[in-house]
Structure 1
Amino acid sequence: MKSSLVLMYGGTFDPVHHGHLRSALELTQVLPVSRVHLIACQLPPHRDQPGASGAQRLAMLQLATANEPLLIADDRELQREGPSWSADTLLSLREEYGSLQPLAMVLGWDAFLGLPQWSRRESLLELAHLIVVARPGQMHEASPELLQLLQQHELKPGEQLNATPAGRILRLSLPSAMQVSATYIRRLLGQQASARYLLPDTVIEFIRTNQLYQP
């Protein structure tokens, strides 16, 4: 009997919104997933620093996932100092779950296109599978290096991601493909406009109480 997948879904979550949450939940519906670790990063190495603190972003994640048992608000990157490297996080998850557990990291197509610039990128597929989520309108082509990586590692027809612990790449489009942007939400909040229905009401209340994303 094959094991269920454990997923690493990282991000700044600044703030967490329904696009993040719906994508995470749909991954559990289209793949044999036992849990999704939503991991707020400490210092994102490839983007601007978050507007909310690590503790605040973790608190919003905890509020957002409180009633969904398959989604876990994970603070392991917030416990480390310095930039949040995915290889370190995957190694931590691998140590927690053991060498035989099918483990996969979720990333968007745009992030995948930047993979050649990632730290210790060669170790990622040794530690986990990669699930690359494509969204409508993302038409940028992969580099020759990434095309070769896909040729070597992409999941073949009839193969299952949870049949092995690591080493495969799955390209996936999710049913809802919700286009919600944390940047847009922060802009709305900075203009004192309503962001309701873009993120959970509990998160909106936390943002209001803590006066986050104000001009």
Structure 2
Amino acid sequence: MGLSLSPFTRLGVFGGAFDPPHLAHVALLEAAIAQLQLDQVRVLPTGQAWHKPRNLTGAEHRLAMARLAFGHLPQVVVDEREIHRTGPSYTVDTLHELQAEFPGAQLYLLIGDDQRRSLAAWRNISEIGRIAIICAAGRDKAVRAWNEEPGTLQSPSPISDTLQAHILTLKMPLMPHSATDIRALAASEQAMTGLVPPAVERYIHEHHLYRPN
């Protein structure tokens, strides 16, 4: 007997430190679900991030904040696999696992504009491009280049001449939110209104996250 088909056909994959998750993350997910008609999105807080020069906040806090930030979206499942993975965590490994678990589902890798600019440095980026359709948050020029018809995606364009991967641009407002700036506000006990979901802001204050030691 062959592999059984997935219970859905369009699976979004959204990884990141989520330290903390902010409103630009939420906007990206909402845009992806609507524009790509995703059946489910796996949100994957990073475990041991090979590219982060600093220590991340404890996994239990980042998982809790992700559930608070994205809990209003019924398509979202906060997936703990990268938290529990030993050693450095790479996107290509996660995509291979999801491909095996959900045969028949098309994978859509959701990334922010900052991640778009660093794709050339990702481990096995060509393999990533073969497994998943890469979908990036819209940049200023990219948003203006959209067709007028609502929900219409741009044709995929090469990331570079040397990479065998293509990206789709998600239509969304430019939101230059910075987790670094948000952590700085939290460290000085300032309000984060308009930057993170209210429930996440309450969690940060209640657990005294990002405060100086």
Matched, 1:211 2:208: yes
Partners in 2 of 1:49 and 1:182 — Cα distance?
A: 13
- 1:112-151 → structure 2 map (5 Å cutoff): 112-136=116-140, 146-148=159-161
Unaligned ranges ≥5, structure 2: 1-7, 143-157
Shift of 1:174: 2.2
Deviation per CA, 1:46-100: give whole Å up to 9, x if none.
22334411111001111222222012211110010111100111011111111x2
- 1:23-172 → structure 2 map (5 Å cutoff): 23-98=28-103, 100-136=104-140, 146-148=159-161, 169-172=166-169
Closer, same or farther in 2 for the Cα pair 1:33/1:50, shift >3 Å? Answer: farther
Unaligned ranges ≥5, structure 1: 139-144, 154-168
Shift of 1:4: 4.1
1:176 aligned to which of 173, 177, 195: 173
Q: Report the 3-state secondary structure (helix = DSSP H, G, I; strand = E; otherwise coil) of the residue aligned with 2:194.
A: coil
Equivalent residue letter for 1:191: S
Stretch of structure 1 that moved more, 112-121 or 74-83: 112-121
Contact 1:14 1:50 in 2 (8 A): no
Matched, 1:196 2:193: yes
RMSD: 2.2
Contact 1:23 1:177 in 2 (8 A): no
Q: Report the 3-state secondary structure (helix = DSSP H, G, I; strand = E; otherwise coil) of the residue aligned with 2:134.
A: strand
Stretch of structure 1 that moved more, 70-79 or 15-24: 70-79
Shift of 1:121: 2.4
Q: Report the 3-state secondary structure (helix = DSSP H, G, I; strand = E; otherwise coil) of the residue aligned with 2:18.
A: coil
Instruction: Give TM-score, length-normalised by structure 2.
Output: 0.80
Equivalent residue letter for 2:124: R
Partners in 1 of 2:88 and 2:73 — Cα distance?
A: 29
